[in-house]
């Protein structure tokens, strides 16, 4: 194996809370509030925001206002708006709204694919071919997210060879970027390092994004392990919101402000204004109606200092 890439000095974070975060919430966030939220996120230095999903309102009722959200948000130069689409119809709707990126989703395991999408991985690949045909000439970047790349809640381990086989098929199909997803927080840092090193060695020109959930408290550790192999793109969700509605035990994504805080403290440039991001994160409990898992918004940055107790001054 070739020498592992040096740790990147700059990373890019794709904010997924407006889609992955809201899809599992009990409360429907009104369209106007979603728009204001995405607009606020776009001022923090984030370069990519997954604003919604053009899926069936019956499947994900919380995102039934996808078109209204995408057409209502303020487009800012340098901020790409990406959306998840499940099929050709969703792709056509997304293209009509002039998004910058379309994110497709499939599973590395048969059982999760059937539970989440009612399709096997092979059936998903066939649908992706049709989506690529529909989007040809649009100039829209096409990314594919590979769920359960680090383990399936129904089947357990997903062999690395199977993941690499599916990545190869996606690239051969014409997919431009690939996200490896730890759908229910089953990954560990050693496993992450092995898989990330393998994909970077075989496909060094393909932009890989890592998508971690913090279900078992290893989200930041896994992100760090991926970065150490040369990965520079990460999905994250403000406040640690999120979870797949069709995966038992799923919980929130790695928290955006916690991830930014970790990397910035290490001297890694995220391009994000952490103070501005924390201000937006502080509005989340009111937006969704409950507390969120994020830690830095509660504890403050590690540079925070306190006055000495009066008895010791």
Active site residues: 244
Per-position DSSP letters for 109-127, written without gaps between them: SHHHHHHHTSS-HHHHHHH
What is the CB neighbour count within 10 angstroms for residue 287? 22
Q: 297 with 280: CB under 8 angstroms?
A: no
Residue with tokens 């060695």: 201
- Please enumerate in sequence order all residues whose Cβ is within 8 A of that of 149, keeping only pairs 6 or more positions apart, or say none: 108, 158, 163, 180, 181, 182, 183, 195
Distances (CA, A) of 255 to 44, 119, 241, 294: 15, 30, 7, 6
Q: 102 with 135: CB under 8 angstroms?
A: yes
Q: 103 - beta bridge partners?
A: 84, 143
Determine the Cα–Cα distance for residues 294 and 308; give it in Å rounded to an integer. 27
What token pair was written down for 48?
């990519």
> Exposed/middle/buried for 134, CB within 10 Å: 0-12, 13-18, 19+?
middle
Q: 106 - beta bridge partners?
A: 146
The string over 3-25, giving b where at least 16 C-beta atoms fall within 10 Å of a residue's C-beta and e elsewhere, is eebeebeebbbbbbbbbbbbbbb
């Amino acid at each position: 194996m070739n020498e592992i890439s040096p740790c990147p000095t700059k990373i890019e974070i794709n904010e997924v809370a407006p889609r992955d975060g809201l899809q599992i919430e009990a409360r429907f966030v009104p369209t106007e509030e979603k728009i204001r939220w995405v607009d606020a996120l776009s001022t923090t230095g984030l370069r990519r925001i997954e604003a919604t999903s053009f899926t069936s309102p019956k499947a994900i009722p919380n995102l039934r206002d996808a078109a209204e959200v995408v057409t209502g948000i303020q487009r800012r130069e340098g901020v790409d708006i990406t959306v998840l689409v499940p099929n050709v119809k969703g792709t056509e709707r997304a293209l009509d709204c002039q998004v910058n990126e379309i994110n497709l989703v499939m599973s590395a395991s048969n059982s999760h694919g059937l539970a989440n999408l009612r399709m096997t991985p092979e059936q998903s690949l066939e649908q992706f071919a049709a989506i690529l045909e529909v989007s040809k000439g649009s100039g829209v970047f096409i990314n594919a997210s590979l769920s359960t790349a680090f383990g399936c809640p129904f089947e357990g381990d997903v062999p690395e060879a199977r993941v690499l086989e599916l990545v190869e098929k996606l690239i051969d199909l014409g997919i431009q970027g690939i996200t490896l997803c730890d759908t229910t927080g089953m990954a560990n840092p050693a496993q992450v390092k092995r898989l990330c090193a393998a994909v970077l060695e075989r496909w060094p020109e393909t932009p890989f994004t890592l998508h971690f959930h913090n279900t078992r408290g290893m989200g930041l550790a896994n992100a760090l392990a991926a970065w150490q192999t040369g990965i520079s793109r990460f999905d994250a969700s403000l406040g640690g919101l999120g979870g797949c509605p069709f995966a038992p035990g799923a919980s929130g994504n790695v928290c955006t402000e916690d991830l930014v805080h970790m990397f910035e403290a290490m001297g890694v440039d995220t391009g994000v204004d952490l103070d501005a991001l924390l201000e937006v994160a502080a509005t989340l409990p009111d937006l969704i109606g409950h507390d969120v898992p994020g830690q830095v918004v509660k504890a403050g940055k590690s540079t925070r200092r306190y006055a000495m107790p009066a008895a010791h001054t």
